[in-house]
Amino acid sequence: MEAVSVPEVPLPTAPDDELQSPTRQLTGWTARLGTALAVGLSLYALYWVVGIVQPLVYRASFLLIVLVLSFMFYPASDTPRARARVSMLDWLFAVLAVAALLWPLIDFDNFIYRAADPTALDMTLGAIVILLVLEATRRTAGWVLPITAACFILYTFYGPLLDLVGLGLIAHRGYDLSRIVGTIYMTLEGVFGVPLDVAGSYIILFSIYGAVLGASGAGKFYLEWSLAAVGTSGGGAGPGRAVTVAGLLLGTVSGSGVANTVTLGSVAWPMLKRAGYKPDMGGAILSAAGIGAIICPPALGAAAFIIAEFLHITYLKVIVMAAIPALLYFFSIFLMIEADTRRLGARPVQIVTPPLWQLTKRHGYHFLAVVGIPAMLILGMSPFRAVFFSMAIAAALSFVDRENALWPRRFLGALYTGARSVLPVAATTATAGIIVGTVTLTGLGLKISGLIVDLAGGYLFLTVLYSALAIWMLGLAVPVTASYIIAAVMVAPAMTKVGVPDLAAHMFIFYYAVLSEVSPPTALSPFAAAAITGAKPMPTMMLTWKYTLPAFVFPFAFTLSKQGMGLLLQAPPGDVVMSTGTAVVGILALGAGLGGWIRAAANPLERTLATAGGLLLFYAGTTSDIAGLVLFAIAVALHVARTGK
């Protein structure tokens, strides 16, 4: 057996998965300016936790720094010339951002009262902010979302014309430039709305927290601990098991599917390769485990923070609702990977790590990052203060291991990393705010939701199914955060109209928005994993989709019946036990059917029966549960009879 060891690795810190655009390496005084602004942005966010800043003042100043940094670090194109230095055009955009976003702060007392009747200067500066936000989003997250936002703005202008082309269902009376700019630029319903608020509060704080943990050596500990715990178990299945457990641990404090995937890949792919895993399978394992970061509490993904704001609930409640689905997700990919590994016949690999007990004894304090924030939330602390004090505790504990001690220079480096990694999602949320503002102004959300309900004939199952398809199609074009925000204002009303509780509707949308991570053309995590393993992107993406498929069946369980709300811990204890138990058995059945392995390779009939049984078990109800159990039992019985003892 070949031996592998764990190199030093950072903890993934990108708060979402828009961080895929080319960046430029600054030098000289521009590098010093960029560093000062990034560190200043992090310090400003930390001050906001303990200080008092007016919402519009904080969001405008936060966006100002974000835009300046975006134009400094992200070139207009990927050409060597554009990446070589900050151009005059970049500096012009930065200056315009400063002027347009200082105006609300300078004229604050009068500015907020002119939204219905903006001046010529207001309209000019507002139009500049909208264009700069779209350009920053294009640079950091690609063309699709800015084009989508531009289409929504055009829809706001030309709504009356839709009547002339037979689209009267979504037509409206139309709005002029002053009304559009006033809504998007001068209220808390557009650029400065809830999405940007979440980026400037929750997301940047968790991003800084992840960077602090990474600098303190937590990333290497989580990987080493996972390898020591399960890396040598199950023969050749050990490496796949270790990647799954490591993905779970890293995901609790990461919140980024791509960053988690890349971190896992840099360490685990050599181990998987030596064990005999094929490149596409290795890439699928890495990306499936990595994507779990977006749905894994307490960090979750950026969209989860927005759920709390949209529904006016505590973030602790979001964490509670996400707990069982996250465990079910990792359980499902664990089984799917296990089945493929056994069919593949992977060989054991010797893993060089300290003994598990020794690792836990020496560095187990890093587990406080997993339980610290939820514990503080349970004690009644706000999310902002919980992550603030968790950060302080992590910094203090770093001195236990002097090699990773966060001395001032190292701590400032973590602040810089945290601010840099929040730039793409901040630009994305500002653009999403533009879309939300136009949807609110035109009433498009209610029109679309009414259309979905009408198409479904008012039937619950069809409404949920059509909603899933709509979110999935939206995810083909835009990243997770934007996909959730748009669907929350356009699809959620359709689901609640047919009786789905608000909590269940938004959690359903959240999980289906995550599908954008495994769907072309924005399947960032599988594509990143394929680049690491040398596999072809499309086969890697399709195999990742297979591994993650069970996770996107169980959201139907908590939308189609009241008993299913037990999966979100929002039902009586009996329903929690029943819905969770049947979901676990359903995942076992789907793992057997889709993975093609029970105790040996399953034949087509056994796989079909197991898959059908698994799907029925996810519909929380006595009749469907009994039918699902019977089908799965028949599949197992046939398999045992065929394969013998």
What does the pLDDT read at residue 12? 58
- Both 372 and 412 in one domain: the answer is yes
Whether residue 486 lies inside any domain: the answer is: no
Q: What is the pLDDT of residues 206-262, one digit of tens each?
A: 889 888 988 888 878 888 898 888 877 766 778 888 888 888 888 887 777 777 888
3-class secondary structure, 601: strand
Three-class SS state of 352: strand
Q: Is the pLDDT at 420 greater than 90, yes or no?
A: yes
> Does residue 450 belong to any structural domain of this protein?
no
Q: Which domain holds residue 38?
A: 28-197
d(CA 471, CA 485): 11
Residues 267 and 237 in one domain: yes
The pLDDT of residue 18 is: 46
Higher pLDDT, 65 or 273: 65
pLDDT on residue 522: 61
* Confidence at residue 6, expressed as pLDDT on a 0 to 100 scale: 55
Residues 297 and 191 in one domain: no
Q: Does the pLDDT at position 3 exceed 80?
A: no
Residue 552 domain-assigned (yes or no) = no
Q: What is the pLDDT of residue 496?
A: 94
Max Cα distance, the chain (Å):
83
Q: pLDDT grade, residue 351 (50/70/90)?
A: confident
Mean pLDDT of 590-600: 88
Instruction: Write out pLDDT tens, residues 528-568.
Output: 888 889 888 888 988 888 888 877 888 998 998 888 899 99
Q: Is the peptide bond before 298 cis (omega within 30 degrees of 0)?
A: yes
pLDDT at 17: 47
> 305 and 330 share a domain?
yes
Q: How confident is the model at residue 35 (pLDDT cuts 50, 70, 90)?
A: very high
DSSP characters over 532-565: HHT--HHHHHHHHHHHHGGGGTGGGHHHH-SGGG
Average pLDDT score over residue span 137-153? 91
Last residue of a domain, one of 197, 232, 254: 197
The stretch 594-601 carries a mean pLDDT of 87
**CA proximity to 333, closest of 291, 300, 301:** 291
pLDDT at 151: 93
* Domain limit, last residue, from 399, 422, 445: 422
566 and 597 together in one domain: yes
Q: Are residues 188 and 228 in the same domain?
A: no
Same domain, 227 and 369: yes
Q: Which residue has the higher pLDDT, 522 or 279?
A: 279
Q: What is the pLDDT of residue 19?
A: 45
For residues 598-617, average pLDDT: 92
Is the residue at 399 inside a domain? yes
Helix (H, G, I), strand (E, B) or coil at 350: strand
Question: Per-residue pLDDT for 73 more than 80?
Answer: yes
Q: Give the confidence band of 134 by pLDDT, cuts at 50, 70, 90.
A: very high
Alpha-carbon distance of 619 to 563, in angstroms, equals 9
Q: Which residue has the higher pLDDT, 347 or 159?
A: 159
How would residue 133 be classed by pLDDT, with cut points 50, 70 and 90? very high
Among candidate residues 400, 398, 60, the one with its CA nearest the CA of residue 197: 60
Q: Which one of 361, 393, 422 terminates a domain? A: 422
Is 8 contained in some domain?
Answer: yes
Indicate whether 65 and 107 sit together in one domain. Answer: yes
- Total domains in the fold of the chain: 3
**Which tokens hold the place of 264?**
């896992």
Rounded CA-CA distance 260/293 in Å is 7
465 domain-assigned: no
Same domain, 111 and 68: yes
Q: Are both 191 and 231 inside the same structural domain?
A: no
Higher pLDDT, 26 or 169: 26
554 in any annotated domain: no
247 and 193 co-located in one domain: no
Burial class (CB in 10 A: 0-12, 13-18, 19+), 92: exposed
Identify the band that residue 501 occupies on the pLDDT scale cut at 50, 70 and 90. very high
Instruction: Tell me whether residue 361 is exposed, middle or buried, using C-beta atoms within 10 angstroms of its C-beta: 0 to 12, 13 to 18, 19 or more.
Output: exposed
What is the band of 431 on the pLDDT scale with cuts at 50, 70, 90?
very high
In the predicted model, what is the mean pLDDT of the chain?
A: 88
How far, rounded to the nearest angstrom, does the alpha carbon of residue 470 sit from its chain's CA centroid? 18
Give yes or no for residue 348 having a pLDDT over 80.
no
Both 180 and 307 in one domain: the answer is: no
What 8-state DSSP symbol labels residue 6? Answer: P
Neighbours of 626 (CB within 10 A): 12
pLDDT computed for residue 4 by the predictor: 55
The answer to whether position 137 is within a domain reads: yes
